[in-house]
Amino acid sequence: MTDPAVKFLDNARWAAAAKIVSGGVSIILVFVLGKVLGAGAYGLFASTTSVLIFARIVGGSGLGQSTGKHLANLAPEEADKRGSYMAAGFLLQTVIALIMSAVIWFGAGRIAAITSSPAMGPALKIGAFIMVFFALTEFSKACLQGLQRFEFLAMITWVEYAGKLLLAGGLALAGFGLAGALSGFALALALASLLALFIFTRQGMAWPSLSGREWRSLVGYSLPLVFTAASFVIYMELDTIMLLYYGGPAAAGIYSMAINVARAVPFFVIPIGQSAAPLIAKMWREGDDQAPEFVHRLIKYVVACFFPAGVALFVLAPRILALMGPEYPAGTTSLRVMSVFVLSLSLAAVAVPILDYLGKAGSRAVWLTVSVSANVALNFVLIPRFGGVGAALATAITHAPYALNNLAVLARTVGLRAARLYVSVGVILAASAAAGAVGALALYLTASPVVTIVAGGVVYVGLLRFGNIFSVTEVSQAIDKVLVGIRAPISSE
Q: What is the DSSP string of 384-419?
A: HHHHHHHHHHHHHHHHHHHHHHHHHHHHHHHT--HH
User: At CA 56, angle to CA 88 and CA 79, rounded to 5?
Assistant: 25
What is the CB-side half-sphere exposure of residue 34 using CA atoms within 13 A? Answer: 26
Query: How far is it, in rounded angstroms, from Cα 402 to Cα 391?
Result: 17
- Residues 6+ away with beta carbon under 8 Å from 459: 431, 434, 435, 438
DSSP-assigned states of every residue in 341-387: HHHHHHHHHHHHHHHHHTT-HHHHHHHHHHHHHHHHHHHHHHHHHHH
User: At CA 167, angle to CA 161 and CA 168, rounded to 5?
Assistant: 80
Could you tell me how many helices (H) and strands (E) the chain has, helices first?
Answer: 17, 0
Burial 291-300 (b: 16+ CB within 10 A, else e): bbebbbbbbb
Quick check: 300 and 346 in contact, CB under 8 A?
A: no
| Res 473: pLDDT | 65
| Res 390: pLDDT | 92
Q: Pick the closest to residue 389 from 251, 266, 264 (CA basis).
A: 251
Query: How far is it, in rounded angstroms, from Cα 194 to Cα 435?
Result: 47
What is the CB-side half-sphere exposure of residue 287 using CA atoms within 13 A? Answer: 0
| Res 183: pLDDT | 95
> What is the full per-residue pLDDT of the chain (493 aa) written as tens digits?
455 556 666 777 787 788 778 878 888 898 899 889 888 888 889 888 888 888 887 776 678 888 888 888 887 778 788 888 888 988 988 998 999 999 999 999 998 888 888 888 999 999 999 999 998 998 898 888 888 888 899 999 999 999 999 999 999 999 999 999 999 999 999 999 999 999 998 888 888 888 888 888 888 888 777 777 777 677 677 888 888 888 888 888 888 888 888 877 776 677 777 677 877 887 887 787 888 888 888 888 888 877 788 888 888 888 888 888 888 899 999 999 988 888 888 888 888 888 888 888 777 778 888 888 898 899 999 999 999 999 999 988 988 888 888 888 888 888 888 788 788 888 888 888 898 899 889 888 888 888 888 998 899 888 888 877 766 666 565 545 444 443 443 333 3
Quick check: 198 and 47 in contact, CB under 8 A?
A: no
Query: How far is it, in rounded angstroms, from Cα 77 to Cα 58?
Result: 34
| Res 492: pLDDT | 35
User: At CA 344, angle to CA 339 and CA 345, rounded to 5?
Assistant: 85
Burial 400-425 (b: 16+ CB within 10 A, else e): bebbbbbbebbbebbebeeeebeebb
